[in-house]
Amino acid sequence: VFAPGAEFGSAKRWPAAYFGQLALSVRQLMEQAQIVLLGSVKDQPVAAEIVKWAPAAISLAGSTSLADAIALIAQADAVVSNDSGLLHIASALNRPVVALYGPTDPGHAPPFSDIATSIYLNLSCAPCRQRECPLKHHKCMRDMLPEQVWQALRPMLPKIS
């Protein structure tokens, strides 16, 4: 499961193209992997952009109830999420999680899953805790490259026999 949204604001969102590249990496390793994009109606545009990068990804953004999203997360092999409500649901369900933090401090509300990695670049301008990047560069998320997230996610995925 990928959760590319963040209700707080765009500063907390990892770029859609990066989620798309990550989905391609997963599918290269595991052809049969199902990548599901979850989020609210507001996340539909970002989910559609991810699907442009990775057509095999399935966008359910805005088309599931919260209960359905929780059920899907509960069955996920792993969850990659911005700092959002869905991240904390995945953590509460003890799913393997890669948590992406930019303008917020991962020490403030980290995932508590038994298997969890928080990625945070600890830039001099972070954590700014702003909805939009006040410096207009969004480096805290843009400089978090797909390969870095893939390195954290890969060991969480089921072993291929």
Place of tokens 């052809």: 31
Structure tokens at 117: 């990695």
Place of tokens 């917020």: 104
Tens-place pLDDT, residues 99-118: 999 888 888 888 999 999 99
Can you give the pTM of this predicted structure? 0.94
Say yes or no to pLDDT of 136 above 50: yes
Mean pLDDT of the chain: 92
Biggest CA–CA distance in the chain, Å, is 47
The pLDDT of residue 137 is 83
Alpha helices for 54-84 (secondary structure H): 66-75
**Given this model, what pLDDT does residue 9 score?**
66
Q: What is the pLDDT of residue 161?
A: 46
Percent of the chain with pLDDT over 90: 75
What pLDDT does 154 receive? 95
Residue 113 has φ and ψ, to the nearest 5°, of: -60, 150
Residue 72 · residue 1 · CB < 8 Å: yes
Nearest by Cα to 26 from 2, 52, 62: 2
What average pLDDT does the segment 145-157 reach? 96
Alpha helices in the chain (DSSP H): 16-29, 44-53, 66-75, 85-92, 139-142, 146-153
* pLDDT at residue 60 greater than cutoff 50: yes
pLDDT grade, residue 159 (50/70/90)? confident
Q: At what angle do helices 16-29 and 146-153 cross, to 10 degrees?
A: 40
The closest of 66, 95, 64 to 81, measured between CA atoms, is: 95
